[in-house]
């Protein structure tokens, strides 16, 4: 039996200088263990199927979307370090402790359409500073660029339950030990190769993409006989958390590009709940994250539910996609 283990609590004590951040991440990890337990029970816990509601995005909510949201919201609004909490599933942010120093945003269950078919899903979170202590937090307080994030991460519920975390000084990965109910460090200082032969994109939207993105994927599909001179593999998990996890583990590039399918949703992914935390993780692992032309983390949000196109992963591929878009302008 391994004795020299480092738990998430140990890691935070060694690498974080903020007791408040440690407290928040501790609460998120404890809720993640509860969500994991429900997922393992599946239909036996009556968590599958639709909840009968739509979220603020106009999407049908799954039962576990609602359960996970409530568990996280209850835990974080009671956390004295939290001044406010915002969820992808709710119209507006919820004020918590006016004396708190942090704001927390989360996607309670990314990829929830995968639940009923037993495919990976995950929880994504982002922690921001609260700059208006002593006052009730509002949506406006959350409108900070991704560069302001103090910490970010996700929990992937797959064949094992894994947390990826950055405190702004690299990326570490933890696996849930179900016997001790603790997250245990399995890897740190994660690094993404600058080049790759693997990409993730929902090719069914090809006809709605800009010409630059169509050209990029055409080149990858052409393989050795095309402009890139090598063969590529395509992977698509239908949950951003799963695709980003794969990139952190073995490299690659992920894109949910601008498209014209719905003029009101030219970018599908949410800047505050998905793009920013994932971009911070990717950059901290040596990769890049853009909306095809500009750095994700530099975007100043105008709404807590703002959507953006996303391209992230191996930096040379992200740069090449940016080059194609700039040439096409």
Summarised one tens digit per residue, pLDDT across range 274-299 is 999 999 999 999 999 999 999 999 99
Q: What's the CA dihedral at 265, 266, 271, 273 to 10 degrees?
A: 40
Q: Residue 65: its pLDDT value, please?
A: 84
What's the mean pLDDT in 137-147? 98
Q: How far apart are CA 119 and CA 157, in angstroms?
A: 9
Q: Where are the domains of the chain?
A: 8-188, 198-328
Q: Residue 62: its pLDDT value, please?
A: 59
Tens of pLDDT along 52-86? Answer: 455 555 555 558 888 899 999 999 999 999 999 99
- The reply to whether domains 8-188 and 198-328 share a CATH topology is no
Q: Residue 234: its pLDDT value, please?
A: 96
Q: How far apart are CA 61 and CA 63, in angstroms?
A: 6
Lowest mean pLDDT among 111-115, 157-161, 230-234: 111-115
Please give the CATH architecture assigned to the domain spanning 198-328: 3-Layer(aba) Sandwich (3.40)
Site of tokens 């797959």: 158
Of 254, 143, 131, 123, the C-alpha closest to 192 is 254
Q: How far apart are CA 272 and CA 224, in angstroms?
A: 38
pLDDT classification of 145: cutoffs 50, 70, 90: very high
Whole-Å CA distances, 213 to 125, 131, 201, 219, 324: 29, 39, 10, 10, 8
The domain 8-188: what is its CATH number?
3.30.540.10
């Amino acid at each position: 039996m391994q004795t020299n283990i480092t738990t998430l609590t140990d890691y935070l004590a060694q690498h974080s200088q903020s007791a408040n951040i440690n407290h928040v991440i501790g609460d998120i990890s404890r809720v993640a263990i509860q969500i994991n337990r429900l997922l393992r029970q599946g239909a036996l816990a009556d968590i599958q199927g639709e909840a009968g509601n739509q979220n603020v995005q106009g999407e049908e909510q799954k039962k576990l979307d609602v359960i996970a949201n409530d568990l996280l919201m209850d835990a974080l609004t009671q956390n004295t370090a939290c001044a406010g909490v915002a969820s992808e599933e709710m119209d507006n942010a919820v004020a918590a402790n006016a004396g708190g120093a942090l704001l927390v945003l989360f996607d309670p269950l990314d990829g929830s359409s995968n639940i009923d078919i037993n495919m990976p899903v995950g929880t994504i979170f982002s922690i921001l500073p609260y700059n208006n202590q002593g006052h009730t937090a509002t949506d406006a307080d959350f409108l900070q660029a991704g560069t302001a994030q103090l910490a970010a991460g996700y929990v992937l519920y797959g064949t094992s339950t894994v947390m990826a975390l950055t405190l702004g000084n690299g990326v570490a990965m933890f696996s849930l030990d179900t016997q001790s109910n603790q997250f245990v460090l399995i890897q740190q200082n994660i690094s993404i190769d600058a080049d790759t032969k693997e990409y993730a994109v929902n090719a069914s939207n090809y006809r709605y993409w800009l010409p630059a993105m169509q050209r990029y994927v055409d080149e990858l599909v052409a393989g050795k006989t095309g402009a890139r001179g090598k063969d590529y593999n395509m992977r698509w998990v239908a949950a951003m958390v799963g695709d980003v996890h794969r990139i952190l583990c073995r490299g690659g590039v992920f894109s949910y590009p601008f498209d014209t399918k719905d003029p009101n949703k030219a970018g599908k992914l949410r800047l505050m709940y998905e793009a920013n935390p994932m971009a911070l993780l990717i950059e901290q692992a040596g990769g890049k994250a853009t909306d095809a032309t500009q750095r994700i983390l530099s975007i100043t949000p105008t709404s807590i539910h703002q959507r953006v196109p996303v391209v992230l992963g191996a930096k040379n591929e992200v740069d090449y996609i940016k080059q194609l878009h700039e040439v096409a302008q």
